[in-house]
Amino acid sequence: MKRKVIFLFLISFMITGAGAFADTITLKNGTQIEAQIIENKADSVIVDVEGIKMPYYLEDIEKINGVPVKQEQVQEASPAAEPVMPQQPAPAQEQPKGLGPEAAVADSRMTSPVQDQEPVGEPEVSAPQPDPDTEDLAKRAIPGRMAHKRAGAIFSSIMVAGLLLVFVVIIYIYCSLCLYLIAKKTNDEPAWLAWIPIASLFLMCKVAKVNYLWLLLVLASFIPIVGTLCMMGLMVYLWYKISEARNKPGWLGVLVIIPLVSFVIMGYLAFSE
């Protein structure tokens, strides 16, 4: 029964200490951020922090989940500007003889090149740029939130572990006290062995008037399933004999196999006359 309580305590502690898995982002300034990455972009990653989507640029990130970030910056070479040749004034055309001013103007219009006008397109609308002050403030606030969250999880784990430890100590004291009083009432000494782990098993065999060789079944407790069944059978047999040694019905000792009821049975055998 004691091994059951300790086993449940360890399982509860492992489940509680396990924490939620998240991605770990290490910034170049040494700050570590634990959050879930919900989107990867070419120049940044988007993380989910308590339901808020926050961007982190790759140029500020050193590692993601322990893997160094290698940012490739590709710069497109701008084409060299072609030298602008000064336009030479077109040579003046001689006005043909015999033509008037109006004919000369018409002829100049026909001989001058026609310049195509470029169509005027719609003005490009640039995307709104994020406010640097707001973005910097958000980056500074995230580490504080994550640290507060981690501190809360650690405090909760310590509180649960502390409560389980207190619960186990109370159960151990109660079971040892019951066995001590039973040994006193059956005049089996030394009754103080009830307070010592493992030694209390020898005291139970002495009170139950059974051979100590039965305790060899304790060695089978290391075998999965079979060991558990052997320990349960040993405890039922010992408490059956202890109940008879207290001049009580033997079937009361069999009830110790039932959780919670076992505490009532041990208390009854210890405190009743």
Q: What is the pTM of this model?
A: 0.45
Token duo for residue 138: 């958000």
Spatial distance between the Cα atoms of 253 and 236, rounded to a whole number of angstroms = 6
State which CATH number among 3.40.50.1100, 1.25.40.10, 2.30.30.100, 2.60.120.10 fits the domain covering 2-67+132-157: 2.30.30.100
Q: Is there a contact between 208 and 238 (Cβ–Cβ < 8 Å)?
A: yes
The predicted pLDDT at position 166 comes to 94
Helix-helix angle 132-185:2-17, to 10 degrees? 180
Tens place of pLDDT per residue across the chain (273 aa): 555 545 545 444 444 443 345 688 888 887 878 877 888 877 788 888 777 878 888 878 888 887 887 755 433 333 444 444 555 555 555 544 444 455 444 455 554 444 445 545 555 656 666 566 666 666 666 776 777 788 888 988 999 999 999 999 999 999 999 999 999 988 888 889 889 988 888 998 989 888 888 888 888 777 888 888 888 888 889 999 999 988 888 888 888 888 888 899 989 888 988
The predicted pLDDT at position 169 comes to 94
The predicted pLDDT at position 92 comes to 52
Q: Give the residue from 2, 236, 20, 11 showing the smallest Cα distance to 146.
A: 20
Spatial distance between the Cα atoms of 137 and 141, rounded to a whole number of angstroms = 6
Q: Is there a contact between 161 and 13 (Cβ–Cβ < 8 Å)?
A: yes
Token duo for residue 38: 């919900």
Domain boundaries, the chain: 2-67+132-157, 178-271
Spatial distance between the Cα atoms of 63 and 34, rounded to a whole number of angstroms = 12
The predicted pLDDT at position 36 comes to 78
